[in-house]
Structure 1
Amino acid sequence: MSELLPDPVYFAGLPKVITSGAVILRDEHGRVLIEKPNYRPHWLLPGGGVDPGEDPRRCAQREVREELGLDLPIGRLLTVDWVPPRAEIGAPMGLHFVFDAGMLPEAELRERIVLQRTELDEWRLVDEDEADLLSGWGALRVRRALAVLRGEAQADVVAHGR
């Protein structure tokens, strides 16, 4: 019979995971809101990293409030992306959750959004065929989430190789 490891030793040996929560927020024409951070070369969905003890849905709600000044109810889970670790840059594996944030008319978005200028340069509404403004896997997750919203796919975990 092998001896059990003490919890701190056992947990220290487990893989680390980066977790994030993001949203699909649409206007009345079905366009998706994306944002341009000042620290990345590509656009992103509204959202960000999960804080210790925070669940991904609450993270998404908090990030939308911080980044866009919108306090919105966050709806159902649309997709989860699993990204393997990248040892060459020291990045652990990631789990990235995307939720439905519903629809707000464009006029209301323009009136209500207060952009977090310390992190973001701008926001815009894009059609699905413009999703390539995001990273390659970012565009895939937008298209998959929209397919779930249209009833063409089921919410699922998708693994991404690098």
Structure 2
Amino acid sequence: MAELLPDPVFFASLPKVYASGAVILRDQEDRVLVEKPTYRDHWLLPGGHVDPDEDVRETARREVREELGLVLEVGRLLTVDWLPARPESGRPMGVHFVFDGGVHDAADLEARIVLQESELEAWRFVPEAELGLLSAWGRRRALAALRVLRGQESADLFGFGGS
């Protein structure tokens, strides 16, 4: 029996999707590490967009290494967020994965962090009440991930449909 090959016309007709991987990195006081990029008005969780042929967990690991100079194991998947396409802006659909970056000694991390100055201007630990520094969608992701870490809900696939 002949092997069926993928239909290139079918695959070309599918919508484009971009993906990103980020981490929730916490200190002993349950504060969350956030970073201020040079190219956005709001703060972000450490992470970034998936490179071609890259596993999303590896993306999160790579981005933490590139942005903060930290070599960390990236733990379990906490949340997945799907965002719809925005044809008016040219943005395709997106899927964003947030992983557990673990709990770390704040002083130890402060001594080890080497900020990627070409992309980031600052980083800091913030309590949950200050996660409003993130964009609305970033805050929702971070809060959902914290609920999963506390056992208040299980990891789930969900979409906010936000900006």
**TM-score band w.r.t. shorter chain:** over 0.9
State yes or no: 1:141 paired with 2:141.
yes
TM-score (ref. length: structure 2)? 0.95
SS in 2 for 1:148: helix
Deviates more, 1:151-160 or 1:118-127: 151-160
CA distance in 2, matches of 1:113, 1:81: 28
The 1:5–1:12 alpha-carbon spacing in structure 2 relative to 1, beyond 3 Å, is: farther
Residue identity in the other structure for 1:122: A
Rounded to whole Å, the distance in 1 between the matches of 2:98 and 2:18 is 14
2:152 aligned partner: 152
Scaled by the length of structure 1, the TM-score of the pair is 0.95
* Partner residue in 2 for 1:96: 96
After superposition, give the CA deviation of every residue in 1:34-81 in whole Å (9 maximum; x if it has no partner): 000000110000000000000110000000000000000000000000
Q: Gaps spanning 5+ residues in structure 1: where?
A: none
Structure 2, gaps ≥5 residues long: none
Partner amino acid for 1:20?
Answer: S
Q: How far apart are 1:83 and its partner, in Å?
A: 0.2
Work out the CA distance in 1 between the residues paired with 2:144 and 2:89.
Answer: 28
Q: Which residue of 1 aligns with 2:12?
A: 12
Residue 40 of structure 1 is matched in structure 2 by 40
Letter in 1 for 2:122: E
Once the two structures are TM-superposed, the CA of residue 151 in structure 1 deviates from its matched residue by: 0.3
**Residue identity (%):** 64
The count of corresponding residues between Structure 1 and Structure 2 is: 159
In the alignment, the residues of structure 2 paired with residue 37 and residue 155 of structure 1 have an alpha-carbon distance, to the nearest angstrom, of 27
Alignment of 1:80-119 (within 5 A): 80-119=80-119
Q: Distance in 1 between matches of 2:98 and 2:108?
A: 23
* Residue of structure 1 equivalent to 2:75: 75
Shift of 1:7: 2.0
In structure 1, give the amino acid aligned to 2:143: R
Q: SS at the partner of 1:87?
A: coil
Question: What's the counterpart of residue 49 of structure 2?
Answer: 49
Letter in 2 for 1:8: P
Structure 1 counterpart SS, 2:130: helix
Distance (Å, rounded) in 1 between the aligned partners of 2:6 and 2:128: 50
SS of 2:91's partner is coil
Matches of 2:136 and 2:65 in 1, distance apart?
A: 26
Equivalent AA in structure 1 for residue 108 of structure 2:
E
Q: Distance in 2 between matches of 1:6 and 1:120?
A: 41
How far apart are residue 6 of structure 1 and its match? 6.4
